[in-house]
Amino acid sequence: MTPPSSTQTLLSWLVTIFLPFAIILTGVRLLFTPTYLDIEYRTPNFPDDPYGFTLEERLKWSKISMNYLLSSEPIEFFETQRFDDGTRIYNDRELSHMTDVKVVVDWVLRVWIIALVVVVGVGVWASFGGWVTPYKLGLLRGAWATLGFVGIVVLFVVVAFGPFFVFFHNIFFPPGTWTFNFSDTFIRLFPMRFWQDTFLWVGGLSIVQAALILWLSKR
């Protein structure tokens, strides 16, 4: 067997580096759908809103918020989103955080697309160039790295979600800008249980994808 060229080796390692991003962010993107909200809010023992949101209201406002994050709308979009009494669904502090979240979501989706392009593009190149073995090696390394990283994250989510949640938010947002009162709409729509379940869903979807890639790469 001819040893891989330096270019093939480099591209193999690029696949290793980008595959975890492609896998994990695919899981994230799959949850940015109305279907996930329909499932999550109906999960057994999901906490009711102590301030009175019904299931239908939670679904309505959460789907509107999700659509905003995936759209090109400015934050002024929420000026027209009001409760029956005419008050805005989000206060100024919540709107500021929504702006920050939208910036992060935009970057996450860009990274996801880039990662997919790299992994798939190198795969096509390897297939036509006759160097599939180095490509598969890159997939294997990337899949194992994904399983290791996701396993650690899931462990923290299960045993110490509070500290992990703070750590995660302080990576992406200035400290103090993402904490709210329990009576604020943001917490009423998205309590801690929502975020813990979301991390576990992303972890589960990532594990399934990585396991499938491992199986296919060894064939």
What's the mean pLDDT in 95-112? Answer: 97
DSSP state of 75: G
Q: Identify whether 39 is part of a domain.
A: yes
> What local confidence, expressed as pLDDT, does residue 123 receive?
97
What's the mean pLDDT in 17-44? Answer: 98
Q: What is the mean pLDDT of the chain?
A: 96
Residue 201 has pLDDT above 80, yes or no: yes
Residue 35 has pLDDT above 90, yes or no: yes
In the block, tokens 């000026």 appear at 79
| Structural domain harbouring 166 | 6-217
Task: Give me the percent of the chain exceeding a pLDDT of 70.
Answer: 100
As a whole number of angstroms, the distance between CA 199 and CA 218 comes to 29
* 105 burial level (CB within 10 Å; 0-12, 13-18, 19+): middle
As a whole number of angstroms, the distance between CA 30 and CA 102 comes to 17
> What local confidence, expressed as pLDDT, does residue 1 receive?
58
Q: Which residues contact 218 (CB under 8 A, 6 or more apart)?
A: 140
In the block, tokens 């002024």 appear at 76
Q: Identify whether 148 is part of a domain.
A: yes
| Total number of domains constituting the chain | 1
pLDDT band at 7 (very low <50, low <70, confident <90, very high): very high
DSSP state of 122: H
Dump pLDDT digits (tens) for 129-145: 999 999 999 999 999 99
Q: Identify whether 141 is part of a domain.
A: yes
Q: What is the pTM of this model?
A: 0.95
Helices (H), ranges, 130-219: 132-159, 161-172, 185-189, 192-217
Q: Identify whether 85 is part of a domain.
A: yes
Among 121, 102, 138, which Cα is nearest to 14's? 138
Other CB atoms within a 10 A radius of the CB of residue 204 amount to 13
What's the mean pLDDT in 140-157? Answer: 98
> What local confidence, expressed as pLDDT, does residue 103 receive?
97
Q: End-to-end alpha-carbon separation of the chain, Å?
A: 18
Dump pLDDT digits (tens) for 48-75: 999 999 999 999 999 999 999 999 999 9
Task: Give me the percent of the chain exceeding a pLDDT of 90.
Answer: 95
What's the mean pLDDT in 169-183? Answer: 94
* 159 burial level (CB within 10 Å; 0-12, 13-18, 19+): exposed
Among 189, 206, 197, which Cα is nearest to 158's? 197
Dump pLDDT digits (tens) for 108-125: 999 999 999 999 999 999
Residue 219 has pLDDT above 90, yes or no: no
Q: Identify whether 1 is part of a domain.
A: no
